[in-house]
């Protein structure tokens, strides 16, 4: 089953993706993951992508789709987070999935902007593991230090107020149109989730959706 997680930064997509990975053996795939993997392994696709990056150019959609094609050959239950970002990418992804006899369901994590800003501002991370804390909602046991390793936490530049507001502006301008693309009532490919609901409730809703639509959404 291919699940596409839609929603702005801070909507809870990453949290739910980790839960599905741990409990149901889903694999989360992002554009960044693909690029890092192919560059690390020195694949032909990775070298091609590196050429664009070295010259300061964006990696073209066509190359990302080819990387996605290679990944989908090895896994069946996939969460796409951060891809597609544009209508053109969504159309290219649909073409790839049709060629494989697959379809994808999109889950939209709905959270009002004011709540997103509150969630994102004040986040701290443990660089080695990726564990995320929040000064208000999920504080570490000892301020400034990771619960498990005891190592210092850091605040990424993209968690600062001005940067966060810019990221949300970009999302609303560039990525939000995907909602219209996937919510075609005939295709029924979009399901809205209340991103403000408790984590366990959101997980239960996703579990039911997976059970109802085991092969495609």
Active site includes 85?
yes
Token pair of 87 as six digits: 């209508």
Given 27, 160, 167, 192, which residue is catalytic? 167
> Which of 128-149 are b and which e, b meaning 16 or more Cβ less than 10 Å from the residue's Cβ?
eeebebbeeeeebeeeebbeee
Given 39, 66, 85, 131, which residue is catalytic? 85
Token pair of 217 as six digits: 């959404």
How far apart are the C-alpha atoms of 107 and 6, rounded to whole Å?
A: 6
59: left (phi over 0), alpha (psi -120 to 50) or beta: beta
Active site includes 27?
no
Number of residues in the chain:
217
**Helix segments in 29-187, DSSP class H:** 31-41, 44-54, 61-72, 87-99, 113-120, 161-170, 177-182
Judged on CB neighbours under 10 Å (0-12, 13-18, 19+), 173 is: exposed
Active site includes 167?
yes
Active site includes 36?
no
Given 98, 100, 141, 156, which residue is catalytic? 156
> Could you list the active site residues?
13, 85, 123, 156, 167
């Amino acid at each position: 089953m291919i699940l596409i997680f839609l929603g702005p930064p801070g909507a809870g997509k990453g949290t739910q993706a980790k839960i599905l990975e741990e409990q149901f053996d889903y694999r989360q795939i992002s554009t960044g993951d693909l690029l890092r993997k192919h560059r690390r392994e020195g694949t032909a696709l990775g070298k091609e992508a590196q050429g664009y990056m070295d010259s300061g150019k964006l990696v073209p959609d066509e190359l990302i789709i080819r990387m996605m094609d290679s990944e989908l050959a090895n896994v069946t239950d996939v969460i796409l987070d951060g891809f597609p970002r544009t209508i053109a990418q969504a159309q290219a992804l649909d073409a790839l999935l049709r060629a494989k006899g697959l379809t994808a369901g999109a889950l939209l994590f709905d959270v009002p902007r004011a709540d997103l800003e509150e969630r994102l501002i004040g986040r701290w991370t443990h660089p080695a593991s990726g564990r995320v804390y929040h000064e208000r909602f999920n504080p570490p046991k000892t301020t400034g230090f990771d619960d498990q390793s005891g190592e210092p936490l850091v605040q990424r530049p993209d968690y600062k107020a001005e940067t966060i507001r810019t990221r949300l502006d970009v999302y609303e301008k560039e990525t939000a149109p995907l909602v219209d693309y996937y919510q075609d009532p005939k295709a029924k490919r979009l399901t809205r989730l209340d991103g403000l609901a408790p984590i366990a409730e959101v997980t239960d809703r996703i579990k039911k959706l997976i059970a109802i639509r085991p092969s495609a959404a």
